Amino acid sequence: MPHIPIRRKDLPTGEILCSYCTARCCRYFALPIETPTTWNDFDNIRWYMMHGRISVFVDGGIWYLVVHNDCQHLMPDNRCGVYDTRPAICRKYSTSSCEYDNDFLYDRLFEAPQQIWEYAEAVLPPRRKRRAGAVPAALPIVNV
């Protein structure tokens, strides 16, 4: 996480917050996902997390998949290289709601696949173990 040079509340009168930008919002994106309720759901999340810098957090009961990856247009000085043609989601963003000095506190944070699996083991009923060589029951035949 980038170093915060000055807290928002300590910004001198007349200074612009953007002058101190650490580009937090340009270093990841988070997408809401369905709340996992089954072993398969948690296994899918574990699979997502095996694909690089991926984490999951829960905030206000909503689950989010986080992809940690810098925007390809982020310049070394933390400014946007395509500012005049930036996407609408970036245009809607303002300094009043930016994450500049957000402490990133969540209800839950999972940073490794094993953590999500341990959580599943704590909240789900035990998995049924299949006997070696057992064949699952056939699906019924439906006549239409």
Sign of CA pseudo-dihedral 21, 104, 29, 116: positive
pLDDT value at residue 34: 97
Beta strands in 60-129 (DSSP E): 62-68, 108-110
- Give pLDDT tens digits for 30-49: 999 999 999 999 999 999 99
Per-residue pLDDT averaged across 94-108, rounded? 77
Least confident of 8-12, 27-31, 78-82: 8-12
Structure tokens at 121: 């083991």
Which residues have CB under 8 Å from 79's CB, separation 6+?
21, 23
Looking at per-residue pLDDT, the higher value among 94 and 89 belongs to 89
pLDDT value at residue 2: 57
Per-residue pLDDT averaged across 74-84, rounded? 93
User: Hey, where are the domains in the chain?
Assistant: 8-123
Beta strands in the chain (DSSP E): 28-33, 54-59, 62-68, 108-110
Q: pTM to 2 decimals?
A: 0.76
